[in-house]
């Protein structure tokens, strides 16, 4: 569900005719309209907004406008309104970003910003975007995002920012590159002739020169002061006397003038102004609710016409707001009437907004009224809507303003707070809150009404346990959630079901993981939610593949693609389906079809990716790319995935680092792969957990590659590790795992001269044959061929074995031998190699080894030959790359 | 006896501050600056002074001053009566 779009924020304040022409400032703004950023940074009341609005309206193409407020500190809300503002000029702008912001889970910021930059790159005409009142945002997230955009800003977009304080946007760099135009208080202040024109044209006042001078020196060209002074002088007989008194007074300018202005209003207007100052925006109905005055609409018109600091927020003049500075002055005066009347006004505002369905403002005013009971009730009721609108952090801030005792007395607040804390990554605080909630549920006994809420709490507990690495506790919590949640709440039950499946998966219980995930997906589909209902398909296919059910995995993905194809819109998750299918097709040797699905996923682009899946999908694409021989590309994709990764309870069964090590190995970069292996402390025969299986198998490959270098290396740890993993795979009926483990065992046994190698491979063939596995065997390259030949010779594998043998023929269509297939160096050759890397000359090396120079030359030549190089330097470099020391 | 030097301000610590702004501010603004008194000096400036406040509260006061458009003249740490 989208964060709610407030369209009045996209409305540029209307400019009145007869404003003062300020051509020198308009020129500066014109200059800024060809740079990246124009910054208007000055205190309240210097006419920043008016100046920009007036300048924009006079342009052939007015600027896109965004009035910011405190709520825009939430980045997704800020970006939603930013895109919406740009769409007022270019209706099709940023579809992908908008779709992502409207998706049920927020995508990573990096992705959003990259996509936004793409959209901005595609702008056809120059466009000015005004971000008004930027100081209200006050968010490091928004500063960082905007700074990122500004550094890379496409030339067509020009930003104008108005603010009361300099934003944290690396202004020095922009200034140095000539990409910044600045207008500050000194530039904005009204010169004497401008003050005169303002008073004459806008306020209808003609002053004597000495009065003008006195007024100017007192207000220092501050236009809010000028306007207030003019309002105070209107209709006065003794204008000079007023100015003399004003100039001689020490009071804060606005304080003095607002007092004067208010005194000159009728009681009706003054009461209206004071009472309505409690709200940030105002319409006639709300004005009437606050004051009881039936003429509120007419009053608002009057206020606008008499320049009483009220600005319409839309074309229909339904909504207004006061100039923030004026509103502050009014509130200070209202505050003097004591706390009760102010609280009463906030209470009225809260009731009115609640009746209008504007929950956020209803809550804000209930809190301001100090009505804890009302606040707590409203906040509790708002959780669902706020959470699905990505406003969980705003909701969290509300809750945290309530007294602890009131939070504890409402289970809905406690459970919502726990989820809000989880969303914010505050795991410890979430845990404490869930404990509080549990105590309350226990004390309540088996209260039927509390059951769904207790179920939601258990869901949160399951999420927490899985995200903090305790799958067993997660299973227990998820099961409890499913007991408690109503059977007809398919969407609510989807959360614990999904978590339960992930926990089983992480534990290696794939059959259970599959059954539970399929159940959750059926529930979503039955409830008519296609996106959620297909969101688990990729995981289901992955589970099936690990179970060695390659054909069923392909069918599952194909069926889902048919469902997606029947829908007109791009369904998020479709890219995952294509990539999953590409991997199964690649495994079966259908390389062209695999390529085609990979390209389909690419062509669909980011809208076809489930938010949150960006990193996982890139790893999956990388896997197919590497399998098709493009390992460098695969490594790039891993780097991209690292940038996009967010914390989720998804088990990390195949960490990117392990893939990276595997591809380093295949690229002959043994040293880097070894470093990874040592850092991970693998292979470890004592750790048979499924969660580590993939990493262990990569480490086994590293050890086998080492063995190919150093013939006498010991493989006991490798064989033990494989034995343990194989036991686990058989126990959990993970035939896909077993196939790979058996292939590696055959290779290890072959290297160790064990005649049982053929038997191990034959067992793998038995599992793999019916499912059409091919690349798992062929990709092992020439190393596996002798074992395959032995299987064929001993008639252990039938036609399938012969087919694999033919497919792995290096003279056939098989991939070229991998660069790590170097003939092992002898002990003496390695010693020579080590000395070649030193500063010693040839004769010195000979002396060192106690042999003749000719013998050294012979060894060197052999080393060069095995490494495929022709010089000492190249040999040293190559040895370095291969991890030979 | 010489007084020990005042320790440097730390985020966790509260100090008394004197915040001087231009213009005389009426007492109605006292509510806007909880815990602070307003002292109007003869030179046409106002000093906000009161209970010790920590760094976060000090920044809150400065922000409020910004929003009211009050010209800020100086911020000084005052000698602390009860260290």
Q: Where are the domains of chain B?
A: 17-77
C-alpha A698, offset from chain centre: 30
pLDDT of res. A71: 83
Task: Give the CATH number for residue A550.
Answer: 1.25.40.10
Residue reference for tokens 């300018």? A253
Q: Is A40 in the same domain as A180?
A: yes
pLDDT of res. A104: 55
Whole-angstrom CA distances from A154 to A34, A95, A113, A151 are 11, 18, 13, 9
pLDDT at A40 over 90: yes
Which has more confidence, A171 or A354?
A: A354
Binned at pLDDT 50, 70 and 90, residue A820 comes out as: very low
Angstroms from A730 CA to nearest CA on chain B = 59
Q: Is A617 in the same domain as A676?
A: no
Catalogue the E-assigned strands of B1-83.
Answer: 17-22, 36-40, 45-50, 72-77
Q: Is A625 in the same domain as A735?
A: no
pLDDT of res. A603: 86
Q: Which residues of A6-34 are buried (b: 16+ CB within 10 A; e: fewer)?
A: beebbbbbebeeebbebeebeebbeebbe
Q: Extract long-range pairs of A459-462: CB within 8 Å, 24+ residues apart.
A: A459/A485, A459/A492, A459/A495, A459/A496, A459/A499, A460/A415, A460/A418, A460/A419, A460/A422, A460/A430, A460/A434, A461/A434, A462/A495, A462/A496, A462/A499, A462/A500, A462/A503
In the A/B pair of chains, how many CB contacts fall below 8 A? 53
Task: Give the CATH number for residue A847.
Answer: 1.10.10.10
Among chain A, residues having any CB pair with chain B shorter than 8 Å are: 43-45, 135, 164-165, 222, 224, 249-255, 324-325, 328, 332-333, 335-336
Q: Do B31 and A332 touch (CB under 8 A)?
A: yes
pLDDT of res. A883: 57
CA distance A133 to A48: 9
Averaged pLDDT for residues A644-656: 76
CA distance A350 to A347: 5
Binned at pLDDT 50, 70 and 90, residue A576 comes out as: very high
Tens of pLDDT along B21-65?
Answer: 998 988 888 878 888 899 999 998 999 998 888 888 888 899 889
pLDDT of res. A330: 92
Angstroms from B7 CA to nearest CA on chain A = 30
Angstroms from A333 CA to nearest CA on chain B = 7
Q: Is A173 in the same domain as A35?
A: yes
Q: Shortest CB distance from B24 goes to which of A251, A335, A336?
A: A251
CA distance A259 to A333: 9
Strand (E) or helix (H) holding A183: strand A180-184
Angstroms from B35 CA to nearest CA on chain A = 16
What is the C-alpha R_g of chain A? 36
Q: Do B69 and A333 touch (CB under 8 A)?
A: no
Domain presence at residue A173: yes
Averaged pLDDT for residues A489-506: 87
Residue reference for tokens 């090590």? A661
Residues of B in contact with A251 (CB under 8 A): 23-26
Q: Work out the widest C-alpha separation in chain A, in whole angstroms.
A: 119
Half-sphere exposure of A349 (CA within 13 A, CB side): 28
Averaged pLDDT for residues A517-531: 86
Q: Is A231 in the same domain as A219?
A: yes
Q: Is A646 in the same domain as A664?
A: no
Whole-angstrom CA distances from A504 to A499, A515, A739, A783 are 9, 10, 21, 36
Binned at pLDDT 50, 70 and 90, residue A427 comes out as: confident
CA distance A800 to A770: 9
Mark which of A610, A635, A650 sits at the end of a domain: A650
Whether residue A862 contacts residue A824, with contact meaning beta carbons closer than 8 Å, is answered with no
Q: Is A608 in the same domain as A720?
A: no
pLDDT at A289 over 90: yes
Which of A487-501, A534-548, A607-621 is least confident?
Answer: A607-621
Q: Do B44 and A324 touch (CB under 8 A)?
A: no
Mark which of A188, A222, A248 sits at the end of a domain: A188
ipTM of this complex prediction, to 2 decimal places: 0.77
pLDDT at A786 over 70: yes
Which residue range(s) make up the domain with A792? 656-807
Residue A59 region by backbone torsions, left for phi larger than 0, else alpha for psi between -120 and 50, else beta? beta
Q: Shortest CB distance from A335 goes to which of B31, B46, B67?
A: B31
Residues of A in contact with B62 (CB under 8 A): none
The highest-confidence range among A481-495, A537-551, A841-855, by mean pLDDT, is: A537-551
Averaged pLDDT for residues A629-643: 88
| Torsional sign, CA A84, A86, A91, A92 | negative
pLDDT at A692 over 60: yes
Phi and psi at A400, nearest 5°, equal -75, -5
Q: Is A44 in the same domain as A151?
A: yes
Q: Which residue from B minimizes the CA distance to A166?
A: B66
Strand (E) or helix (H) holding A255: helix A253-263
Tokens of A516: 């539970």
Q: Shortest CB distance from A250 goes to which of B23, B69, B70?
A: B23
pLDDT of res. B8: 54
Q: Is A638 in the same domain as A662?
A: no
Tens of pLDDT along A852-874?
Answer: 888 888 888 888 877 767 778 87
Averaged pLDDT for residues A418-430: 87
pLDDT at A4 over 80: no
Domain presence at residue A489: no
Paired residues of A139 in beta bridges: none
CB atoms within 10 A of CB A368: 18
Q: What angle do CA A662, A668, A669 make, to 5 degrees?
A: 75
pLDDT of res. A648: 66
Residues of B in contact with A254 (CB under 8 A): 68-69
Mark which of A616, A650, A684 sits at the end of a domain: A650
Averaged pLDDT for residues A150-174: 90
Q: Is A59 in the same domain as A151?
A: yes
CA distance A287 to A285: 5
Whether residue A822 contacts residue A709, with contact meaning beta carbons closer than 8 Å, is answered with yes
Which has more confidence, A425 or A56?
A: A56
Of A630, A635, A637, A663, nearest to A815 by C-alpha is A630
Q: Is A586 in the same domain as A709?
A: no
Residues of B in contact with A252 (CB under 8 A): 21-26, 46, 70
Q: How many domains does chain A have?
A: 5
CA distance A477 to A482: 9
Tens of pLDDT along A870-880?
Answer: 778 878 877 76
pLDDT of res. A585: 93
CATH number, domain B17-77: 3.30.70.2030
pLDDT at B2 over 50: no
Task: Give the CATH number for residue A126.
Answer: 3.40.50.300
CA distance A38 to A578: 45
Provide the mean pLDDT of chain A.
87
Binned at pLDDT 50, 70 and 90, residue A37 comes out as: very high
Binned at pLDDT 50, 70 and 90, residue B80 comes out as: low
pLDDT of res. A863: 83
pLDDT at B76 over 70: yes
pLDDT at A824 over 70: no
Q: Is A33 in the same domain as A113?
A: yes
């Amino acid at each position: 569900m989208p964060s709610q779009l407030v369209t009045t924020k996209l409305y540029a304040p209307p400019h009145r005719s007869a404003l003062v022409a300020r051509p020198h400032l308009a020129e500066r703004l014109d200059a800024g309209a060809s740079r990246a950023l124009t910054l208007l940074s000055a205190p309240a009341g210097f006419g920043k907004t008016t100046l920009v609005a007036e300048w924009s309206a006079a342009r052939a193409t007015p600027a896109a406008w965004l009035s910011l407020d405190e709520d825009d500190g939430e980045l997704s809300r800020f970006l939603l309104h930013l895109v919406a503002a740009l769409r007022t000029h270019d209706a099709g702008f940023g579809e992908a970003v908008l779709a992502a912001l409207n998706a049920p889970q927020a995508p990573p910021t990096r992705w959003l910003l990259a996509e936004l930059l793409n959209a901005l790159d595609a702008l056809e005409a120059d466009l000015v975007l005004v971000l008004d009142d930027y100081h209200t945002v006050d968010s490091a997230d928004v500063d960082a995002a905007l700074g990122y955009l500004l550094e890379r800003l496409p030339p067509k977009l020009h930003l104008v920012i108005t603010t009361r304080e300099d934003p944290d946007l690396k202004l020095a760099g922009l200034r140095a590159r000539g990409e910044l135009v600045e207008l500050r208080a000194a530039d904005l202040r009204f010169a004497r002739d401008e003050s005169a024109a303002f008073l004459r044209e806008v306020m209808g006042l003609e002053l004597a020169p000495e009065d003008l001078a006195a007024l100017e020196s007192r207000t220092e060209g501050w236009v809010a002061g000028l306007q207030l002074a003019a309002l105070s002088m209107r209709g006065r007989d003794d204008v000079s006397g007023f100015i003399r008194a004003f100039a001689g007074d020490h009071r804060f300018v606005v304080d003095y003038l607002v007092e004067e202005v208010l005194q000159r209003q009728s009681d009706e207007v003054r009461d209206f102004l004071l009472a309505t100052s409690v709200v940030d925006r105002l319409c006639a109905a709300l004005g009437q609710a606050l004051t009881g005055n039936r003429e509120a609409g007419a009053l608002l018109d009057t206020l606008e016409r008499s320049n009483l600091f009220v600005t319409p927020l839309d074309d229909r003049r339904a909504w207004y707001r006061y100039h923030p500075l004026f509103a502050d002055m009014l509130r200070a005066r209202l505050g003097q009437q004591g706390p009760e009347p102010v609280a009463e006004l906030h209470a009225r505002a809260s009731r009115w907004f609640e009746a209008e369905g504007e929950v956020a403002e209803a809550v804000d005013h209930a809190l301001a009224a100090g009505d804890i009971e009302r606040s707590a009730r409203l906040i509790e009721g708002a959780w669902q809507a706020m959470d699905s609108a990505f406003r969980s952090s705003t909701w969290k801030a509300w809750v945290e303003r309530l007294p602890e005792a009131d939070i504890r007395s409402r289970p809905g607040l406690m459970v919502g707070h726990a989820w809000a804390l989880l969303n914010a990554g505050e795991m410890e605080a979430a845990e404490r809150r869930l404990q509080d909630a549990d105590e309350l549920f226990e004390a309540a006994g088996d209260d039927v009404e509390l059951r769904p809420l207790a179920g939601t709490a258990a869901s949160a507990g399951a999420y927490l346990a899985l995200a903090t690495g305790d799958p067993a506790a997660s299973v227990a919590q998820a099961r409890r959630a499913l007991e408690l949640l109503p059977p007809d709440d398919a969407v609510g039950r989807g959360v614990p079901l999904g978590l339960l499946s992930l926990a089983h998966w992480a534990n290696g219980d794939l059959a259970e993981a599959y059954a539970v995930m399929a159940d959750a997906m059926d529930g979503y589909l039955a409830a008519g939610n296609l996106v959620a209902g297909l969101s688990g398909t990729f995981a289901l296919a992955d589970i099936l593949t690990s179970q060695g059910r390659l054909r069923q995995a392909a069918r599952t993905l194909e069926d889902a693609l048919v469902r997606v194809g029947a829908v007109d819109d791009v369904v998020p998750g479709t890219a995952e389906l294509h990539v999953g299918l590409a991997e199964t097709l690649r495994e079966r040797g259908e390389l062209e079809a695999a390529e085609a699905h990979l390209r389909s996923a690419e062509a669909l682009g980011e809208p076809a990716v489930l938010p949150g899946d960006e990193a996982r999908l890139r790893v999956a694409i990388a896997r197919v790319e590497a399998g098709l021989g493009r390992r460098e590309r695969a490594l790039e994709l891993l780097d991209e995935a690292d940038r996009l990764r967010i914390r989720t309870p998804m088990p990390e069964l195949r960490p990117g680092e392990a893939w990276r090590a595997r591809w380093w190995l295949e690229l002959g970069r043994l040293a880097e792969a070894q470093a990874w292996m040592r850092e991970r402390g693998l292979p470890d025969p004592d750790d048979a957990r499924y969660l580590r299986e993939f990493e262990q198998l990569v480490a086994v490959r590293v050890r086998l590659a080492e063995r190919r270098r150093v013939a006498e290396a010991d493989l006991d740890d490798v064989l033990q590790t494989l034995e343990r993993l194989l036991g686990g795979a058989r126990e959990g009926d993970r035939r896909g795992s077993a196939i790979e483990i058996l292939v590696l065992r055959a290779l290890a046994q072959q290297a160790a001269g064990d005649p049982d190698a053929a038997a191990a491979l034959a067992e793998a063939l038995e599992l793999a044959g019916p499912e059409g596995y091919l690349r798992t065997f062929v990709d092992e390259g020439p190393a596996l061929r002798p074992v395959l030949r032995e299987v064929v010779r001993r008639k252990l594998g039938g036609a399938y074995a012969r087919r694999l043998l033919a497919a792995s023929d290096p003279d056939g269509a098989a991939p070229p031998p991998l660069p790590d297939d170097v003939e092992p160096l002898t002990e003496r050759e390695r010693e020579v190699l080590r000395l070649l890397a030193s500063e010693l000359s040839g004769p010195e090396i000979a002396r060192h080894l106690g042999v003749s120079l000719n013998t050294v030359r012979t060894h060197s030549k052999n080393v060069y030959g095995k490494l495929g190089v022709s010089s000492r330097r190249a040999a040293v470099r190559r040895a370095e790359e291969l991890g030979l020391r | 006896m010489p007084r020990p030097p005042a320790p440097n301000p730390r985020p966790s610590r509260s100090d008394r501050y004197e915040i001087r702004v231009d213009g005389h501010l009426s007492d109605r603004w006292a509510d806007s600056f909880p815990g602070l008194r307003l002292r109007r000096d003869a030179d046409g400036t106002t000093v906000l002074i009161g209970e010790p406040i920590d760094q976060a509260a000090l920044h809150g006061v400065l922000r409020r001053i910004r929003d009211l458009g009050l010209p800020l003249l100086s911020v000084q740490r005052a000698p602390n009566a009860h260290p």
